[in-house]
Chains A and B, each alone.
Chain A
């Protein structure tokens, strides 16, 4: 009985196309429902399997929007997004999305352990309850992120950094291959920053792929393998002297770089 899975969406578990990049984005236009101005324009991004990529830019640059579109939360009017060679939504269990903290209702009466457990839901589907293995994995993940002692706390009682770790724990508990992290380092304490940096490096060791939005230029070089620079919804050239790493975006003429 427990082997029967009723997935939340039908095409949940398609196999990756071999040799395809973890994330391949070619967007001409994407906009929020009910708005006229496109939130994203002319973006091309290829993230090879096993790399860590930063989306860099000021607030409103389109970093979150690009992550949302990749997580299937925002329809793309013109253009395509492929995850492991498959359309968005074909392998949701393989993709973990870490939202901005403001997307959650933190006053809701859930404890931290339950929040982290929601990372397992994509594997459980309808009607199935978490197994002992699921709980063990959740506890182990919380332990790794140093929040095991907070397991029984109501989620609203956590500090900002603890909330961020809990969200990261959930993304890890999902055991996804591609992690889309929206501002994981935003307004967190130094301890959390160190923990997250360690997680990013562990993920790379484990062969996982990470795409993270950040407006922090300081640690790009140590934490990431490549960076895509965004401004006002479009891809822009890296500022002079800044980290670029892997070539991820459009082939740009040299003149634009020197500009």
Chain B
């Protein structure tokens, strides 16, 4: 018995090690060409925007990649090195990247930081919930804001302007290119905005109601005329957050009362709660929406433009 136990243990250990080795690619630091700007974007969606504006003049490193959850981000040495060697760092702000300050200090980075949400009209955290639960009173009054600004295209048009300004300031030699790139991309964003508006317009007003995992669609709802009936996890973000039984019951009741036809899960998180809620309310679960991250290359959400198109198509199709 004993030798076989030991062999089993050794095999398991060997397996674990080989899995570990297989899981990680060798350290691939992007070879920085002499005349490009080293740029870090904190997460995949922002990275896509930055790449569209920076074009060939930048070498971009994205910290939280596709399908990654910025809340449970665990850095690797190359991430720190990217920060250390960066000329410019783009971040969302609104406390979305709560870990960035520490990493920035630890890396002893000299990079300029650009908070791309600067100047936007921000939603109070949980504010839209109060449309339905006004009795909650001042519980949300801690001066906090919803960080998920990219769910509204007009916000992103402003973000692109921030990115352009940031790049131009750091690399004046290519300012004209950045401006041209930004203008072209903003053009595409305008048509995306028009597309979303048209899609939403095809949906009867009383069906424009959203139930999702997290409160991530606040700006989408504000700018495209949706009502957020509730989020399964409320405003609580990721690890350890759990809704109270009363929250679930209240939400289920609101869903029935509002006649919401479908509810949605998201790409960065398990949909267990959404499925439970669907079972309780006899609702369809819509396809997972992209919330905090791009999809992997080759998926429908691999770029910001496609991601938004996919989301609005999925929402409209499910709610129709």
Q: Taking the complex as a whole, does A directly touch B, i.e. does some CB pair lie under 8 Å apart?
A: no
Q: Which residues of B contact A (CB under 8 A)?
A: none
Q: Which residues of A contact B (CB under 8 A)?
A: none
